[in-house]
């Protein structure tokens, strides 16, 4: 499990989740012949999730609680409002003000999560098969950025770590791997009816 010594100064983290806000599916966007039927471009809304540090006997307790809160927040209007408010600020006050507000939001969060759905089939680039995808970002002020990227039948987890905040980042990566293994083993022991709940 991840050692609490990394997070001595924190009682909780503010997690930042980005979501795409689309009224239609990608299939409708691609198959539509008329430009006025669909909206193109990124419609990014976000939610901020407080993540409290605590020791649990059950390795899946964090997942259950986070899923419950995330499901509630996704059903609320938070994603739509954050997208619309960002759009209004950018259109009314300009790109510089919109960017500064977004940067201010990033400085108030601890960890950023990104969940990207990748292709289900093998992809080639200039005739060479792509082994894996590993997205990342540069220039935002978070100490830890976590990208979940699916590709074919696997999920890669890409961590971007601030070495000043995590000087022993190799140990953090090992702890992260061990924690995911413990959670995976606990999830595999659940019965089918419990997994569906």
Over the stretch 127-146, which tens digit does the pLDDT of each residue have?
Answer: 999 888 888 877 777 778 88
How confident is the model at residue 196, as a pLDDT? Answer: 56
Q: Is the pLDDT of residue 117 over 50?
A: yes
Q: Percent of the chain scored above 70 by pLDDT?
A: 78
Q: Is the pLDDT of residue 92 over 90?
A: yes
How confident is the model at residue 128, as a pLDDT? Answer: 92
- What is the average pLDDT score of the chain? 77
CATH, domain range 4-189: 3.30.559
How confident is the model at residue 22, as a pLDDT? Answer: 57
Return the HEC string of the chain.
CCCHHHHCCCCEEEEEEEEECCCCCHHHHHHCCCCCCCCCCCCEEEEEEEEECCCCCCCCHHHHHHHHHHHHHHHCCHHHHHHHHHHHHHHHHCHHHHHHHHHHHHHCCCEEEEEECCCCCCCEECCEECCCCCCCCCCCCCCEEEEEEEECCEEEEEEEECCCCCCCHHHHHHHHHHHHHHHHHHHHCCCHHHHHC
Question: What does the pLDDT average to over 170-181?
Answer: 83
Q: Is the pLDDT of residue 154 over 60?
A: yes
């Amino acid at each position: 499990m991840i050692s609490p010594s990394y997070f001595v100064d924190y009682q909780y983290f503010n997690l930042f989740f980005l979501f795409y806000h689309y009224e239609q599916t990608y299939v409708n966007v691609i198959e539509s012949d008329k430009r006025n039927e669909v909206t193109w471009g990124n419609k990014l809304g976000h939610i901020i999730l407080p993540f409290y540090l605590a020791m649990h006997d059950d390795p899946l307790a964090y997942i259950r609680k986070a899923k419950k809160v995330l499901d509630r927040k996704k059903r609320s209007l938070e994603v739509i409002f954050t997208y619309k408010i960002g759009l209004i600020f950018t259109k009314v006050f300009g790109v510089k003000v919109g960017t500064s507000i977004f940067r201010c939001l990033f400085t108030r969060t601890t960890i950023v999560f990104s969940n990207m759905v990748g292709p289900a089939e093998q992809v080639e680039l200039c005739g060479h098969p792509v082994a894996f995808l590993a997205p990342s970002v540069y220039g935002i002020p978070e100490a830890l950025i976590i990208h979940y990227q699916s590709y074919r039948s696997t999920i890669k987890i890409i961590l971007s770590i601030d070495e000043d905040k995590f000087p022993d980042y190799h140990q953090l990566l090992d702890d992260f791997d061990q924690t995911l293994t413990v959670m995976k083993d606990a999830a595999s022991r659940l019965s089918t009816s419990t997994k569906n709940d």
